[in-house]
Chains A and B, each alone.
Chain A
Amino acid sequence: GESVGLHLPTLSVQEGDNSIINCAYSNSASDYFIWYKQESGKGPQFIIDIRSNMDKRQGQRVTVLLNKTVKHLSLQIAATQPGDSAVYFCAENGNTGFQKLVFGTGTRLLVSP
């Protein structure tokens, strides 16, 4: 069945460092991936997405890398700030035709000042 997993449940970094959050996915048919950020007591918030015909996409302070060969996705956050502290989820669509996202279990990012 479909599964999306994360390598590290918790990542602790210092303010100003770069953060890398990793995600492995199992459904090779997935052609769309999204990263979401979830702060305590709130719903997930979209960060960045990437289609399977790309291997890299950049946003503001964030970069998503996709390696389809090993079915791996990563989120890089530059100059991490305390406000980046949250749980980060990757999600894949499983190429279902409709927008049906399968979420991973999440990685908690802790940023120390």
Chain B
Amino acid sequence: EAGVAQSPRYKIIEKRQSVAFWCNPISGHATLYWYQQILGQGPKLLIQFQNNGVVDDSQLPKDRFSAERLKGVDSTLKIQPAKLEDSAVYLCASSKETATVTGELFFGEGSRLTVL
């Protein structure tokens, strides 16, 4: 079974530029998550999709971050304009469960963003 795919693996941009990350979840997984992991910290949830609908985006900085999951499969996360504090690894995860409190999340390898 193929895992969660993310691209690009690394991205370096200057502040105020824009960047987009792409995620392809495991086939058949209804739920998709984007997490932000700042160096030395645990992952922090940015947004959670169930199929193509948003179920939680309470921690997404909506003035600069946006995400979509068209057709309930692939997802993109965009940052515009980027700030220095956005430097982090952006992790995508998926899970097969829908409305449930349990279940394993499968993470991709992440996209490391450096903002100069």
Contacts and interface: CB of A to CB of B under 8 A. Distances in A.
Question: Interface residue tally of chain B, by bracket?
Answer: 20 to 34
Contacts of B44: 103
A95 B42 contact: no
Interface residues of A, number: 27
Contact of A41 (B50, B93, B109): B109
B110 A99 contact: no
Interface stretch (A12-20, A42-50, A59-67, A72-80): A42-50
A106 B105 CA distance: 17
A93 B103 CA distance: 10
A87 to B, nearest CB: 9
Interface in A60-113: 89, 91, 93, 95-106
A104 B42 CA distance: 5
Most buried by B among A49, A51, A103: A103
Main secondary structure of the interface of B (DSSP, over half): loop
Interface stretch (B70-78, B80-88, B94-102): B94-102
Nearest to A98: B55
Main secondary structure of the interface of A (DSSP, over half): loop
Contact of B97 (A96, A99, A101): A99
B104 A95 contact: no
Nearest to B99: A98
B104 A46 contact: yes
Interface in A15-46: 31-32, 34, 41-46
Contacts of B55: 98
B31 interface: yes
A45 B107 contact: yes
Contacts of B48: 98-100
A99 B42 contact: no
Contacts of A97: 99, 101
A98 B108 CA distance: 20
Contacts of A44: 43, 91, 105, 107
7 contacts: A44-B43, A89-B42, A96-B101, A99-B48, A99-B101, A99-B102, A105-B40
